Amino acid sequence: MPGLTDSECGPDWGVLRAHDLWVLPVEMLTEVMEVGVVELELPKGPSAFPFWRSNSRWIAVQSGLPPDERNRLVRHLLFSCLTEAVGGGEWKAPLRAMDIRTLYAGSQWEPMDGWRGDEVAIDSLRSFVGETLGGVAEDFPEEAYPLPGGVGAIIAFGYDAMGKCCPLVWVDARLSSGLRADLWGFCIAQIAEGDVAEREADAEGILYIGKRRRPVRGPGPALLAALTVQRFGRRPGDCDFPLLSGPEREADPTPA
């Protein structure tokens, strides 16, 4: 699934994105994506698979599965369906007219203070790093450029005057506002997964985060990133970013 461009990551309220598939109710997703689900006694093989019938899209699921397992299989196949919708595959899913704001209304993932612009969301995300997480949230200083190739953000871990570990986050200010907002959300998610982030860091304790978007493929830090950004008011784009291991320093003059 190709990464979204910045223009595609704006508040297009009629676009379903990958992270939505892991949090919205399955019944709501199948209705919006116009995909039917039927339980069958399947022979040995996959416990679920997609198929066409009378110009309709369906998912067959092994009968008798626990609800959580059934829904997990359906979500993964809906992800494949959405992937093909973007890539033009045969099982693509034209979506029923919808408004994302309505789908999330009243849920725990509705924005805390309403849907807001990118820069306002960025300010709130940065404040969360500084005030709630007790860290430092800054743009890269001019002397840091050129950044290592492909890097969009960096996380390091330091210690405050009381000896408490605190996160230090820098994001490339040259990037578009939407991309920066999603990177801030991803950084917060990585900090929340502190043990994982520290394991991925280089010998100097620095975690390099790439700026090329990837779709959220399931529960984990990328999904937490998307939901964090959404809670602070931005409709997130693809919120999974690669973790780069000790990239070579090279000129990277063109913002993504």
pLDDT at 221: 94
The pair of three-digit structure tokens given for residue 22, joined into one six-digit string: 């892991």
Work out the number of other CB atoms within 10 angstroms of the CB of residue 222: 26
Q: Which residues of 162-197 are buried (b: 16+ CB within 10 A; e: fewer)?
A: eeeebbbbbbbebbbbbbbbbbbbbbbbbbeeeeeb
Give phi and psi for 213, each to the nearest 5: -70, 150
Q: How far apart are CA 240 and CA 184, in angstroms?
A: 12
pLDDT at 83: 76
pLDDT at 94: 61
Residue 55 contacts by C-beta under 8 Å, 6 or more apart in sequence? none
pLDDT at 91: 53
Give phi and psi for 140, each to the nearest 5: -60, 135
Give yes or no for a contact between 77 and 49, defined as CB atoms under 8 angstroms apart: yes
Maximum distance among all alpha carbons in the chain?
68
Q: How would you write the pLDDT of the chain (256 residues) with one tens digit per residue?
A: 334 444 444 568 888 999 999 999 999 999 999 999 999 998 887 899 988 888 888 999 999 999 999 999 999 999 988 877 555 455 555 677 889 999 999 999 999 999 999 999 999 999 999 999 999 999 999 998 888 889 999 999 877 777 777 899 999 999 999 999 999 999 999 998 866 556 666 767 788 999 999 999 999 999 999 999 999 999 999 999 999 876 554 444 444 4
Q: How far apart are CA 193 and CA 222, in angstroms?
A: 11
Task: Determine the length of the chain.
Answer: 256
pTM of the model: 0.85
Domain ranges of the chain: 7-104, 118-244
Tell me the CA distances in angstroms from 155 to 48, 103, 135, 149, 166, one per residue in order. Answer: 40, 33, 10, 16, 10
Give yes or no for a contact between 50 and 57, defined as CB atoms under 8 angstroms apart: yes
Rounded to the nearest 5 percent, the helix, strand and coil shares of the chain are 35, 20, 45
pLDDT at 200: 65
